[in-house]
Structure 1
């Protein structure tokens, strides 16, 4: 017996040791690709030394004597921090082929793309030499043996893909042309039902000096798109010989997309073309023009020159907004923020117009408060229409009292005192959206039982059209298979009781214990190079979130039946910029600079994002050095070494 015990003990110890060895070995291999921000390199493709200073948030501040070396360096650091993301973006853009003929690009753009590609390839070359864990955990796990070189055409494809994602998808056309969908002849073709959002949208809001506390314009901008890790956007400071440009870069592209220099700040606004028209894929020339425009922005002396540079280059559907220390400029010139209504614009735009009209004078801090606003105009508009016939009707007024009456009365009282704020700790947003979801399901599921994309996800614009009976849209409330003629009031009351039953089943019968954040979760999942990898199952950032699809900080719902209010898309970048002072620009992205799960800068910005805090980005290198986490130097390979390498390659 003792011998058997000793054998089992030794076997157990051996298994534990083997497990520790395997785990330690796996950790060593996976962590080998975490970049060392203090490591210096000798690289081919640059003319002179390049300094890469990483501030306390690991944002690179790149300094060089030429534009080409700057573009080389941003390609190098993009690959160093986000190699997996670069390869994923390249693969996703491969379905947008380039023409066989040579692409006619401006010389400055061609040079920039060549330099950027050389920078990406310099890092790929270092990874290929070994000892860096294949450059990314997912590449190591996938067993990628070789990584094909980066070419300027790859950046063009990524720019083209980005512009394509800005195009509204023609949801109406897709549904109506589907052979599985028979549109009811006796129902109005309410256009709001088929409206679909683009995958990415850009927003900008400018305040002239006459409306700011210090007399200098303010430019606020945000981007809506996928919420993933790593973040879609990468913050950087490019210290060009003519002056620094700081802001959000898109891995795969060497330019600041939304940002500022010491002289001008720029951003974009999606104009929102009609969803009734099928949009064409942006051309290669549109992608080239877009990149040329970004290059010119960083060289512009003032806001008017910046928009002049965009006059013939801005892609269709994009408005350019720029500010300097004295003025606001736009292209097209007719583009202005004006008072809007839910009928002529989205609920989100209407809320922004309301906040803009409410306050005559703004500071940077109050502009940030507007950008982080989570009050929903959809709720403030729909709720009176939904509750108008039941807010003041007591249970004794109805012909039949039910067990739902006390809970119904309590929740209606709460909603009557609610201002529409989608606060994550409040129960009212949860009640509202559960009610809206149940109502839309009851209205549309009988007509389109198999097309759940029309009724599974709340569509406030459609419900507003129905409840206000726009163009006879209230007829959607009638259930076609039933004999009685159901009204919208019938459906509203039934949907309320249905939603309350759903909430009681999930959270109990005490509304004070319910909270929006319990159901509305921000889920930032790993974006793999290939689907089916195990990394994505291990790396996900989650947090209860305030906001909703139409608030200023936006979150878009999924269509998941079990978790209908989870959010995997929404606002993924925000900035408020003023040229009033060196530290007058605030930026934030939702995860971190690094794309490596083992890096401490993988999710370091996530707590700030969830709490509504911003980073102060400065072009002053002395400020960036305070708390810096690394400083690296890229040096040209000596001539003799370069010559030897060329001889070996031959």
Structure 2
């Protein structure tokens, strides 16, 4: 027995030793890719020495003699800190994920190959201005210079993920940066999914009920539309979903998780400082590391500083000493689904206005790790690329004998958006910035601007010109062979909405409606926000003049106008009713919940129980409303639609009929459904969070999930690479923190303002900014998550162009010198 014990001890000791050795070895290899910021390197393709001064938050401040040298150094810094992220963005745009991840990503690669974004990007290089080409070449050279150093110095392949997914890294090319920009356009565009969902829902509901569940902005009239069944005959009333579950690696997000943002500005007359103010927080999916990377570039036109996205040599939201710019998704209706009839006698042809014509075709091979390569036959019509029935649920709305093609503004092989963005970075005034916006194609954005004296907002990006006789006004898929359904080019840039120096001195956008125009100059039928704008308007009007701090206060505001409205309407006949109930009974739980909500001001604070009670209640309420009418299609409505619920509770145009359960004999009232759904919510809260309802916390359910897109679900590694935080805010607060909407964690915070900036032009160096994680993409770096806690608490770091301030507490200074090659 003693012998066995001794051998067990020896075995355990050996296992411990081997485990420690394995961990030490893994740490050694992983740490090899941590860059040294205090170094001097000789590199080719620069004209003079360049300095990269990294301040105490690891924000690079880049100083060079020429703009090309500065963009070179930005590429170098991006690659130092975010090489894996950059290569993944490029690989995604190219449709080459399956070379690393196997069968898991074949469907993702397929949709990117069919959009053909990378080929369009390669062709668009020649469309750029000479200056933009030079900047793109310089940036690419900077990325490649770091790759050369990684290879020369055996620096752990440049990122720890490279050890797990060992694959050759191709040199960076100018087309790669354009492809990343087009990938962002795909991430921000939801028009395709919106059309599919509207078509599917219209097959089940009449027009009145369709207007309820998919409402237009209530501030305008609703035009009557044909039902989809009459527009495109032959489609089954309900077809199960055909798409795969969402993968973190896919750029195609569910429509509710597409781009949203806030931006607002105050003129000198509405500022205490005598100059202008600007705030911006673009909303994108939360990841670790964040998609955003802070940087300062000292250009020949002056310093610019703000948020960049690795892979693109652009400050997308930021400022110079003279001009600030912010972006919000304009929600332009820039996508149409064209239903193309296939020739029954020749499947290689489709119907056009002039008869049968051949598809344009090309084969594309997707190489699959540990699997057989997949050959795709790519097809295009005159309206755009043909998508298979299994993508975007297109098969559910496509009649037999037809396919669907996608018209989308980003599918341009002469895309000059990159050049326009460079011009914006070099602009020195509102007027110059507006002029630069003319060459934006996609994604369409509301560009909020402020120089020292003026403020403006201009919609930039291509807006399709549709025929006034378009069958569905672009809201539903329509036959592509009918001339009236085809695009008629694009509207001139001068037709894009523009607001310059408004009399009230305040302008802003929360993805809300900006103009009320009739079709076809309508911009869009589906605006991105009908709720946050109400709270923003109140906060802006509550002060005669604003300060940097009041703009920060608005950016961090967590009071939900929606919660205040809907909780009052749902509880209208329930407050303070019924007899006292004993502890532990459902009736008692309901009374406690109602008492809490009756005194609540709608603040979605992480430490309060009321936001969780409200969120669970309204979610259960909507599900009870729609489940019997929509059946399985109700699963598509993962997030509440506030206008729909308000229409039902106010019985607008007979909408209260949604409260009656079709399958039951009694006629249920909205009060009945509100009571039942509150019980549903309280049961769900008890099962998931236990304890007394008054003791639960919104922050326990509303956890920000900054997950690594690749390693986030890997046991053990997920503890290292993922960042989780209790957070305030919600779907409809200015501090927007969009919830996942899907079980088992429907209230996880997955989409938020991962970049925040507030720019004060009376004292530009008092401007501030922050991102949601940190500058480094390396999990072993102290800069991987060091900004995350500041972001969670609503704190910022200085956004200064003062070189002395950057040097004063620098974590490192990298000097790049010409190698003479």
Equivalent residue for 1:635? Answer: 817
Q: Partners of 2:798 and 2:658 in 1: how far apart?
A: 50
**Equivalent residue for 2:533, pick from 306, 329, 349:** 349
Q: Is the 8 A contact 1:63 1:239 kept in 2?
A: yes
Instruction: Summarize deviations over 1:359-390 as a string: whole Å, max 9, x none.
Output: 11111011100100000011011112111111
Which moved further from structure 2: 291-300 or 250-259?
291-300
Q: Partners of 1:356 and 1:427 in 2: how far apart?
A: 28
What count of residue pairs does the alignment treat as equivalent? Answer: 635
Mark the CA change 1:326 to 1:486 in structure 2 (over 3 Å): closer, same or farther: same
Q: TM-score, normalised by structure 1?
A: 0.91
1:65 and 2:65 matched: yes
1:307 and 2:434 matched: yes
Q: Is the 8 A contact 1:187 1:475 kept in 2?
A: no
Equivalent residue for 1:296? Answer: 423
Which moved further from structure 2: 338-347 or 386-395?
338-347
Mark the CA change 1:152 to 1:375 in structure 2 (over 3 Å): closer, same or farther: same
3-state SS of paired residue (2:632): coil
3-state SS of paired residue (2:316): strand
1:218 and 2:271 matched: no
What's the CA shift for 1:198?
6.0
Equivalent residue for 1:158? Answer: 180
Mark the CA change 1:4 to 1:425 in structure 2 (over 3 Å): closer, same or farther: closer
3-state SS of paired residue (2:118): coil
What's the CA shift for 1:245?
0.5
3-state SS of paired residue (2:758): strand
3-state SS of paired residue (2:532): helix
**Equivalent residue for 1:563, pick from 716, 740, 745:** 745
Equivalent residue for 2:286? Answer: 227
Which moved further from structure 2: 265-274 or 548-557?
265-274
Q: Is the 8 A contact 2:289 2:784 kept in 1?
A: yes
1:190 and 2:249 matched: no
Q: TM-score, normalised by structure 2?
A: 0.73
What's the CA shift for 1:298?
2.6
What's the CA shift for 1:300?
2.0
What's the CA shift for 1:316?
6.9
3-state SS of paired residue (2:307): strand
1:51 and 2:51 matched: yes
3-state SS of paired residue (1:350): helix
Mark the CA change 1:5 to 1:315 in structure 2 (over 3 Å): closer, same or farther: closer
Q: For residues 339-378 of structure 1, what are the structure 2 equivalents within 5 Å?
A: 345-378=529-562
Equivalent residue for 1:647? Answer: none
Q: Partners of 1:597 and 1:316 in 2: how far apart?
A: 31
Equivalent residue for 1:648? Answer: none
3-state SS of paired residue (1:349): helix
Q: Is the 8 A contact 1:322 1:329 kept in 2?
A: yes
Q: Partners of 2:622 and 2:198 in 1: how far apart?
A: 19
Equivalent residue for 1:382? Answer: 566
Q: Partners of 1:285 and 1:584 in 2: how far apart?
A: 40
Q: Is the 8 A contact 1:46 1:636 kept in 2?
A: yes
Mark the CA change 1:597 to 1:302 in structure 2 (over 3 Å): closer, same or farther: same
Q: Is the 8 A contact 1:172 1:275 kept in 2?
A: no
Mark the CA change 1:460 to 1:276 in structure 2 (over 3 Å): closer, same or farther: farther
1:329 and 2:456 matched: yes
Equivalent residue for 1:646? Answer: none
Mark the CA change 1:339 to 1:244 in structure 2 (over 3 Å): closer, same or farther: closer
Q: For residues 445-464 of structure 1, what are the structure 2 equivalents within 5 Å?
A: 445-464=627-646
1:140 and 2:140 matched: no
Q: Partners of 2:719 and 2:629 in 1: how far apart?
A: 37
Q: Partners of 1:461 and 1:597 in 2: how far apart?
A: 42
Q: Is the 8 A contact 2:409 2:441 kept in 1?
A: no
Instruction: Summarize deviations over 1:30-64 as a string: whole Å, max 9, x none.
Output: 11111111122111111111100010010000000
Equivalent residue for 1:174? Answer: 196
Q: Partners of 2:671 and 2:10 in 1: how far apart?
A: 73
**Equivalent residue for 1:409, pick from 591, 599, 609:** 591
Q: Partners of 1:248 and 1:453 in 2: how far apart?
A: 36
Mark the CA change 1:172 to 1:72 in structure 2 (over 3 Å): closer, same or farther: closer
Equivalent residue for 2:795? Answer: 613
Q: Partners of 1:533 and 1:61 in 2: how far apart?
A: 37
Q: Partners of 1:574 and 1:287 in 2: how far apart?
A: 32
Equivalent residue for 2:109? Answer: none
Instruction: Summarize deviations over 1:464-483 as a string: whole Å, max 9, x none.
Output: 22222233322222222222
Q: Partners of 1:105 and 1:276 in 2: how far apart?
A: 24
Q: Partners of 1:143 and 1:10 in 2: how far apart?
A: 35
Mark the CA change 1:286 to 1:60 in structure 2 (over 3 Å): closer, same or farther: farther
Consecutive unaligned residues in structure 2, runs of 5 or more: 95-111, 217-254, 338-405, 459-496, 514-525
Q: Is the 8 A contact 2:561 2:733 kept in 1?
A: yes
Instruction: Summarize deviations over 1:105-125 as a string: whole Å, max 9, x none.
Output: 110111111111111111122
Mark the CA change 1:486 to 1:275 in structure 2 (over 3 Å): closer, same or farther: farther
